[in-house]
Amino acid sequence: MTLTVSLPDGSERTLPAGASAADLATSIGPGLAKASVAALVDGRLRDLSRTLPDGARVALVTRSDDHQDALWVLRHSAAHVLATAVRRVRPGAGIGFGPPIAEGFYYDFAVDEPFTPEDLEEIEARMREVTATATPFSRRRVDRAEAEALFADDPLKLERLAEIPEDEPITVYENEPFLDLCRGPHVPATNEIKHFKLLNAAGAYWRGDENRQMLQRIYGTAFYTRKALKARLHQIEEAKKRDHRRIGEAMDLFSVEEEVGPGLVCWHPAGARIQMELRRWIEDLLARRDYEFVYTPHIANEALFRRSGHLPNYAENMFPPMVDRGPGSGAAAIRLKPMNCPGHCMVFAARPRSYRDLPIRLSEIANVYRNERSGTLHGLLRVRMLTMDDGHLFCTPGQVEGEIFTCLELVRTVMTTLGLSYRFDLSTRPHSGKRIGGDEVWDAAEAALVQALERSGLDYDLDEGGGAFYGPKIDVKFRDAIGREWQGATIQLDFNLPERFELEYIGTDNRAHRPVMIHRAILGTIERFTGVLTEHFAGAFPLWLAPVQVRVLPISDAQQDAADSVRDALREAGIRAETDARSETLGYRIRDGELKKTPYLLIVGQREANEGSVAVRARGAEKKQIVMTAGEFLARVTDERDSRALAP
């Protein structure tokens, strides 16, 4: 008896019946067998030791710090080793969830006392004891009764066990002596996990529910090579230096005041200038692309959000209803809006539309409100009042490709201007049957996205099945200065809302047709984008974004009038300039300007005052000064601003 599998290069291989992925690797060659850690079987990640089905498509996963599947299985196994070590240090610890995540792994534990830094050191030492052995990760399928007996003393696992459907297999993994309820897969043995580090511990509610018990979560990271681990640890240290909350306080950009409320940002004048510049910039870009600007209410009748489907599907992220008790209101429930799209649908529906009107491009930079859990709030990166750079395009099916192309061109302009490297993910129809529209509609929509990407000359990664139930989408991911990847712009096709709101236009056949709706957010939220840019630039914003672009420093009171004259000329040209004539020493004021990341410091001594010149210190030029006339500097700085240069 034999089985046959197909390989990524299209070739086939015949193996004895009952052969595993490990057997397949060995049949190909000893080098591949030694390097393999898991296998993709018909697109699903599986242990090397599992039996292969006849006719399967198999791709072996080898050790690599650049392969997400390889890192996923390594970090999943590292999480189990972490739990093994915790049970050695605190034998009575309850075991929660322990998944791999984008940058590492974590595990949640029910313990009486929080973990201290000293505890983490001891746990990491115990992990190294575990990984020094070659203990295999063994998979075993069990029935429900056996599973309940195995985890009888662990209520967290019993709760998870109760949620597994009756028709779904229950599996456990063991690396002696630790046993866990787990789907897998894992690396073959514990000695595969060589390069890892525990990072920190923090409180986390069980299942993310603030009404449940508080657990202790330990975070860690793992790689296949020492070099990759070292680079990641360096990135973490650099991220701490660039933390937008620390820089925001030093530069007086924003604050989140307890008396105001968690997740509610107070923009200070310097931060407000950054927001103002971003808004003006994106609005100017949109105006040149024939967008129309609208404003919709911040609150709306709850019925609007029921019609849009946000209720009940998005209810947990919406603030509770307010009751309108005014005359004739009927005590209607009012909600803060979590998104702008329902309002934009109402603008479209406010009057009859013809195919001659399309495409209609609506834009609104507006506040929306989302009741994010308090434990997830984080400076500007996760807030409850968000300033959305929101746009909704209504077009005919034949216009979709062109509109997507225009959106991609806008993304490219924004990313290039800010010096950000970026990539695209194309998410296609969900695999399940829960989606709006027939296959022919999805075929056309996905083809339009592909054609727009290819017409733009852009490479993209395919995320099969990753689209929403109402349409496929393009996600933009960009990297910051220290290599972290962030979610950027989203371009989403929507067949759902036009149907729900019964949107129509009259076509060339004089009949009513449904428009296609495109959601697009280029910056996303101003808060999050500002936070990311603050960390990307480490507070040293390009001149056009800097809160204060030029600071003029007279050496003494005798030069203040001359310094003020330079400042006034700069302000007249639209440059954000200030005079710093404080009584502190010149050296102190220069140092203060450098700490506040001011792009240019202009020193005005008596010679400069007499000659109408300035001594220019550019940010990053250390002590180097260049003397030029005030007019020459004005021409230089306005050109740098208008070109949105990243550096002088």
d(CA 381, CA 448): 32
- The percentage of the chain sitting over the pLDDT mark of 90, rounded to a whole number, equals 78
d(CA 323, CA 344): 24
d(CA 120, CA 218): 8
CA distances from 120 to 100, 233, 239 (A): 18, 16, 21
At 433 the pLDDT is 62
Do the Cβ atoms of 465 and 446 come closer than 8 Å?
no
Do the Cβ atoms of 586 and 603 come closer than 8 Å?
yes
At 438 the pLDDT is 75
Q: Which residues contact 83 (CB under 8 A, 6 or more apart)?
A: 95, 98, 107, 109, 178, 180
User: Nearest CA to 490 among 397, 391, 354?
Assistant: 391
> Helices 526-536 and 269-287 sit at what angle, rounded to 10 degrees?
110
Do the Cβ atoms of 400 and 518 come closer than 8 Å?
yes
User: Nearest CA to 522 among 543, 492, 493?
Assistant: 492
d(CA 132, CA 138): 17
d(CA 313, CA 638): 49
Q: Which fold has domain 266-298+337-536?
A: BirA Bifunctional Protein; domain 2 (3.30.930)
550-642 shares the fold of 68-241: no
Q: Which fold has domain 68-241?
A: Threonyl-tRNA Synthetase; Chain A, domain 2 (3.30.980)
Mean pLDDT, the chain, integer? 92
**Six-digit token string for 221:** 């990271």
d(CA 293, CA 205): 42
**Six-digit token string for 190:** 């514990």
At 72 the pLDDT is 96
At 221 the pLDDT is 97
At 464 the pLDDT is 84
Using only the alpha carbons of the chain, give its radius of gyration: 29
Task: Find the largest Cα–Cα distance for the chain.
Answer: 99
CATH class entry, domain 550-642: alpha beta
Q: In the chain, what are the helix, strand and coil shares in percent, each to the nearest 5?
A: 40, 30, 35
Span of 91-105, 572-586, 627-641 with lowest mean pLDDT: 91-105
In the DSSP assignment, the letter for residue 233 is: H
Q: Which fold has domain 2-62?
A: Ubiquitin-like (UB roll) (3.10.20)
Q: Which residues contact 223 (CB under 8 A, 6 or more apart)?
A: 65, 71, 74, 195, 196, 229, 232
User: Nearest CA to 154 among 83, 104, 105, 218?
Assistant: 83
Please state the φ and ψ torsions of residue 416, each to the nearest 5 degrees.
-65, -45
- Beta bridge partner(s), residue 486: 478
In the DSSP assignment, the letter for residue 9 is: T
In the DSSP assignment, the letter for residue 316 is: G
pLDDT, tens digit (0-9, with 9 covering 90-100), for 318-334: 999 988 776 665 667 99
pLDDT, tens digit (0-9, with 9 covering 90-100), for 465-485: 888 777 889 999 999 999 999
pTM, two decimals, is 0.86
d(CA 157, CA 161): 6
Do the Cβ atoms of 46 and 186 come closer than 8 Å?
no
Do the Cβ atoms of 96 and 156 come closer than 8 Å?
yes
Predicted confidence band of residue 459 (pLDDT cuts 50, 70, 90): confident
Q: What is the mean pLDDT of residues 409-436?
A: 87
User: 646: how many CB neighbours lie within 10 A of its CB?
Assistant: 15
d(CA 131, CA 81): 8
At 315 the pLDDT is 86
Do the Cβ atoms of 109 and 98 come closer than 8 Å?
no
At 328 the pLDDT is 61
Domain ranges (residues) in the chain: 2-62, 68-241, 266-298+337-536, 550-642
At 329 the pLDDT is 59
pLDDT, tens digit (0-9, with 9 covering 90-100), for 352-376: 999 999 999 999 999 999 999 887 8
What is the four-CA torsion angle of 481, 484, 489, 491, rounded to 10 degrees? 140
pLDDT, tens digit (0-9, with 9 covering 90-100), for 240-289: 999 999 999 999 999 999 999 999 999 999 999 999 999 999 999 999 99
At 442 the pLDDT is 81
DSSP reduced 3-state for 14? strand
Please state the φ and ψ torsions of residue 98, each to the nearest 5 degrees.
-140, 70
Q: Is pLDDT above 90 for 622?
A: no
At 435 the pLDDT is 67
pLDDT, tens digit (0-9, with 9 covering 90-100), for 56-95: 999 999 999 999 999 999 999 999 999 999 999 999 898 8
- Beta bridge partner(s), residue 335: 300
In the DSSP assignment, the letter for residue 178 is: E
pLDDT, tens digit (0-9, with 9 covering 90-100), for 6-45: 999 999 999 999 999 999 999 999 999 999 999 999 989 9
d(CA 265, CA 129): 46
d(CA 483, CA 239): 10
